[in-house]
Structure 1
Amino acid sequence: MVLYGYVIMSNDIHLVVQSSEGLLSDLIRDFKKFTSKTILDKIQAEPESRRE
C-alpha cells in the first residue's frame, strides 16, 4: 500500500491510497479485515473507561 494521505474522525476514516501490487479492492478488503479485528481485540482487552 502506498499511503498518500489520511483523516481519522470519531466514526470514520478516509484514505488516499494506491495498491503497489494487485487489485485495490483486495487491499481494501484486507485493510478492513485487519483493522476491524484489531479494534475489536483492543475493546475486549481494555474496556472503555468512561462511565455515564
Structure 2
Amino acid sequence: MSDTANPLVAPREDSTRWYSGVFLAEDVDSLMASFSGGGWIDPAIGGVAAG
C-alpha cells in the first residue's frame, strides 16, 4: 500500500460520546437537541422514548 492519501476516502471520525451505549442518556440528549430545534413532534416522540 502507498502512504499517499486517497481523496475518495473520508478520514475516520469518532462519533462516540461519554454516554454512548447508555440508552437513557442518549434519549435525554436527543430530547434536548429536539427542544433546541423548535418543533413540537420531535420532543413529543423523544419524551415518549425517554419515558
| TM-score (structure 2 length as normaliser) | 0.32
Q: Which has the higher helix share?
A: 2
Decide which structure has the larger Cα Rg and report it. 2
| TM-score (structure 1 length as normaliser) | 0.32
Q: Which has the higher strand share?
A: 1
